[in-house]
A and B are shown apart, each in its own frame.
Chain A
Amino acid sequence: MKGELDGGDPLIDGRVAVVGLGNVLMGDDGFGPFVVQQLLARYEFPGFVTVTDLGTPGLDLIPFVDGAAVLVVVDTVALPEPPGVVRVFRGEELRGAPRSVRLSPHDPGLLETLDMLELRGGGPKQVVLVGVVPQRCGVGPGLSEVARGAADRAVAAVVECLGQLGVEVRQRGKPRPPDIWWENPVTSQERET
């Protein structure tokens, strides 16, 4: 369960943060966490890169983004394109969108977090969003076939984007099985903790 990277503490030593967002209990909304597990299974990352499944943190993104010079987010995106399409957004493309009414702590999300950190000073200098258009986000764990098929493209997009930033990631000689526990339940006792 706890790999050398997965167990790292993004709060303390993270300089490049790769985060998967989304709810693993809601079908394709679990795309971000799924891709994070694929990345951890297939690649080795340098110590200053953290790769983390954050779920649906809303405003609680702040502690994970704070202190990262580069932020790469994997998430589902709402786009007028067919399900399974993977798109990469950067900087201004992302930041231009209007902010939502704040009713609950989930309403402020990625954009608001970036705004707050920028105002304080010290927010990430580069932000990249690797997004997939979801097919099904209903109750129940497990990706649709379309989203599953898009995962490799999202993995490649993250690796490419890290490469462009000068971050070398190495493919593992022998990939580990990805820890997609929400699709393959095992008992807690069998899990390495």
Chain B
Amino acid sequence: MSKRIVIDPITRIEGHLRIDVEVEGGAVRDAWSSGQMWRGIETILKGRDPRDAWLFTQRICGVCTTVHAITSVRAVENALGIEIPLNAQLIRNIIIAAHCLHDHIVHFYQLSALDWVDVVSALKADPDKTAALAESLSAWPRNSKHEMRAVKAKLAEFVERGQLGIFANGYWGHPAMKLPPEVNLLAVAHYLQALEYQKIANQVVTLLGSKTPNIQNLAVGGVANAINLDNPATLNMDKLYKIKGLLEQAAAFVQQVYLIDLAAVAAMYADWLPYGKGVTNYLAVPDLPLDRAGKVFDLPGGTIFNGDLGAVKEIKSFDDPYFRDNVSESIARAWYDGDWDRHPWEEDTIPRYTDFDPNGKYSWVKAPRFQGKPMQVGPLAQVLVGYALGHEPIKRWADVVLETAGSLAKAKLSPAILHSTLGRHAARGIRAAVMSELALKHWQLLVENIGKGDIEIFTPWQYPRGEIRGFGFHEAPRGTLSHWVVIRDGKIANYQAVVPSTWNAGPRDGKGQKGPYEASLVGNPVADAERPLEVLRTVHSFDPCLACAIHTVDPTGRELSRVRTL
């Protein structure tokens, strides 16, 4: 007899991610991912000046602000066919890297760690043993006995006061929780330290973007960060050195704590390595451009089909037709009028809600496809593409994780294990480590370029008459993000954003091909249908960001979320 489990947070007025799984014999037999994706941006932008688009698109999502802003200016610049000054690229790159560090740290510790870490079990830990274990794994200075004792005492006090609300739905005591108490205590200590380091990374975004979460320093054609090394009101030496110091602190945390914790979790949950593979077509776009035109990059992009790393195909520039011509979106199973599969420039968005029908339409999320195929996006896609292309930093950091986890698990781990739920987490850490190096590299490049006397930050341009089309992409923390714009006589005629979570959380298409969430859940174990921790593990490994639309507080304590078994 199969059972249907529905995980459905209902905090928002409209829209969120909903996961339905059919469970039989303790494992998921079929899955449906349904969500509210932003579906009105083109209506809001039509007729506006394309120079304003980035201000609006960065409001699509409060977590992914910066990434929509950057992708939007890239799309308009692509339509105009302009290059931007090197300083502008590098300043954007440092913002991109710092935002990514902040985002990856928060994702792992504050959103996902509790899927693997049993907080209550940490109370049984011997803090001195925790410190000894931690010091054997990493040179991080904040793993001392003193630190671990203090964290345990604080946690005990919190539990005594009955304040475990924060960990509600953390499913402590669940049979799928396997870490020894000492490791759980270590993870709690790093969970608290992560609060500091994600903030440090975010300060870099504030210093360059002039504000966060919604940055103010962009312009189509460059950036608005005036450079004068001796002027306190502009980007000067003092600010630049402050940025360097912050990036170094964030890099140390990523390399000495985050990456090591990931390796330890992967090693101690080695039985989980076979789960969560799903769609093994991968898509990543190149990022961190090193030139004005966007033809040379520090992060690689490309496609892999059917897990075949040998046949990787590279995406080479901001204007690469291989990307431009092969993206489409299907609405066959989404609540829009029609059942087409169209290129983003040709799309429209006419909502037509019908009930949740697993055999028909069941989501607001469109199903993006590349050459008609579902693609997994995210750090794992970029790490695999980089690994396949022989990208040195990616290969080096991937090997660090595989070797550290392998030595703890006493097994030889190959990159093939990355096609999994744990692999997505590991890849996020690998990417964070690569980013932490590249952030400092791009800081150095910026300082050197300014040192040569180049203070250019903006390329002047004019709208041509008639119609122009452009696309911009960015490898965001959650994966490939692209914006598509059609401009007629200097006004926006169409605008579509194809966001990472639509690639991953999208529904089936006209051919019945499942999206990556859906495919990855099939075969996933479920020990207790009332507490489907294992389903959350796999969904969280994608770093979902769907409920972007609305923020409302419910102070009255109505039912806020539910897990239903049917």
Contacts and interface: CB of A to CB of B under 8 A. Distances in A.
A77 B551 CA distance: 9
A129 interface: yes
Given A23-B550, A76-B551, A189-B51, A97 B166 contact: no
Given A93-B555, A116-B195, A137 B550 contact: yes
Given A53-B214, A76-B551, A104 B106 contact: no
A169 interface: no
A146 to B, nearest CB: 16
B552 A76 contact: yes
B217 interface: yes
Interface string B388-426: 000000000000000000000000000000000000000
Contact of B213 (A54, A101, A102, A140): A54
B321 to A, nearest CB: 29
Contacts of A181: 55
B158 A24 contact: no
Nearest to B199: A63
A54 B49 contact: no
A155 B48 CA distance: 31
B560 A188 contact: no
A89 B543 CA distance: 32
A99 to B, nearest CB: 5
B553 A182 contact: no
Contacts of B65: 55
Interface in A29-72: 29, 32, 52-60, 62-63, 66
Interface string B167-179: 0110000000000
B560 A98 contact: yes
Contacts of A100: 9, 11, 169, 560-561
A116 B202 contact: no
Contacts of A108: 110-111
A147 to B, nearest CB: 13
Interface string A8-32: 0101100000000111111001001
A97 B106 contact: no
B19 interface: yes
B557 A97 contact: yes
A151 interface: no
B111 A97 contact: no
A147 B548 CA distance: 21
A102 B13 CA distance: 17
A109 B386 CA distance: 35
B216 A2 contact: yes
Nearest to A104: B544
A173 interface: no
B536 A104 contact: no
A165 interface: no
Contacts of B11: 100, 107, 109
A188 B51 CA distance: 6
Contacts of A164: none
Interface in B97-133: 102, 106-107, 110-111, 114
B558 interface: yes
Nearest to A6: B211
B555 A1 contact: no
A103 B542 CA distance: 10
B59 A101 contact: no
A55 to B, nearest CB: 4
A59 B112 CA distance: 12
Given A11-B203, A25-B40, A97 B554 contact: yes
Interface string A134-175: 100101110000000000000000000000000000000000
Given A9-B206, A26-B549, A99 B168 contact: yes
B561 A106 contact: no
A193 B222 CA distance: 13
Interface residues of B, number: 83
Contacts of B263: none
Contact of B547 (A53, A80, A107): A107
A105 interface: yes
A86 interface: no
Contact of B166 (A21, A76, A93, A112): A112
A177 interface: no
Given A23-B59, A98-B557, A102-B536, A59 B110 contact: yes
B49 A120 contact: no
A164 B411 CA distance: 62
B561 A97 contact: no
B214 A115 contact: no
B556 A97 contact: yes
Given A78-B554, A108-B110, A108-B111, A185 B59 contact: no
Given A78-B558, A120-B195, A105 B545 contact: yes
B198 interface: yes
Contacts of A94: 553, 555
A160 to B, nearest CB: 19
Interface string A71-85: 001011111100000
Contacts of B211: 7, 52
Contacts of B60: 25
Contacts of B111: 59, 102, 105, 108
B404 to A, nearest CB: 27
Contact of A103 (B63, B536, B556): B536
B106 A7 contact: no
B219 interface: yes
Contacts of A131: 553, 555
A115 B165 contact: yes
B229 interface: no
Given A103-B19, A104-B544, A119-B154, A59 B106 contact: yes
Interface of B: 7-9, 11-14, 16-17, 19, 39-41, 43-44, 48-49, 51-52, 54-56, 59-63, 65, 102, 106-107, 110-111, 114, 154-155, 158, 163, 165-166, 168-169, 192, 195, 198-199, 202-203, 206, 210-214, 216-217, 219-220, 224, 536, 539-540, 543-563
8 contacts: A25-B56, A60-B202, A62-B199, A63-B102, A99-B560, A119-B158, A182-B59, A193-B224
Given A25-B44, A102-B114, A182-B59, 6 more contacts: A57-B62, A78-B553, A97-B557, A100-B11, A121-B154, A137-B552
Interface of A: 1-2, 7, 9, 11-12, 21-26, 29, 32, 52-60, 62-63, 66, 73, 75-80, 89, 93-112, 115-121, 129, 131, 134, 137, 139-141, 181-182, 185-189, 193
